[in-house]
Amino acid sequence: MSIRVQCVIYDAIDPAAQARFWAEVLGWRITHEVEKESVLEPPQGSREDGVVPDILFVKVPADETKTIKNRLHMDLRPDDQAAEVERIERLGGKRASVGQDDSVSWVVMNDPEGNEFCVLRAFTPEELATL
């Protein structure tokens, strides 16, 4: 069987604003934007282009705000966790608690509409050598 994930879809009160936030966080490009949806894709010509699923933000009614923890979220792996968390906070992301304690190696954050995502620690040189 030949199948691939085409896109991951997020409900959004403001799809355009969500797309702008995530485009800045990921360094991706907005490739489609209409009133009720916005699409992000990896940078054109990058090794992720055409391989990594697109991210689609679709409009939901304003009274359909997020109320519980996501059942699906992204994990981001930067080269410098602390610098990335700080940068994401400047873009409008916020640290979040979903019950994790101080022993975890990741930072849980919320995007502007409250969707959780994690910023993982960087790979060690030993881990990078095995990739």
**How much is the average pLDDT of 87-94?**
98
Question: Residue 66 has what pLDDT?
Answer: 83
Q: Single out the residue in 42, 63, 84 at which a domain terminates.
A: 63
Per the structure, how many domains does the chain have? 2
Judgement on whether residues 51 and 73 belong to the same structural domain of the protein: no
DSSP state of 103: T
Judgement on whether residues 107 and 80 belong to the same structural domain of the protein: yes
Question: Residue 115 has what pLDDT?
Answer: 95
Percentage of the chain lying above the pLDDT 90 cut: 76
Judgement on whether residues 14 and 53 belong to the same structural domain of the protein: yes
**122, 79 Cβ separation under 8 angstroms:** yes
Judgement on whether residues 123 and 70 belong to the same structural domain of the protein: yes
Distance separating alpha carbons of residues 16 and 36, to the nearest angstrom: 8
Enter the pTM of the model.
Answer: 0.90
Judgement on whether residues 86 and 35 belong to the same structural domain of the protein: no
For every residue of 20-74, DSSP letters joined together read: HHHHHHHT-EEEEEETTEEEEEPPTTSTTTTTSPEEEEEE--TT----S--SS-E
Q: Single out the residue in 14, 43, 63 at which a domain terminates.
A: 63
Judgement on whether residues 122 and 70 belong to the same structural domain of the protein: yes
Residue 102 has pLDDT above 90, yes or no: no
Judgement on whether residues 92 and 59 belong to the same structural domain of the protein: no
Look up the CATH number of the domain holding residue 41: 3.30.720.120
Domain boundaries, position 78 = 66-131
Q: Single out the residue in 63, 78, 106 at which a domain terminates.
A: 63
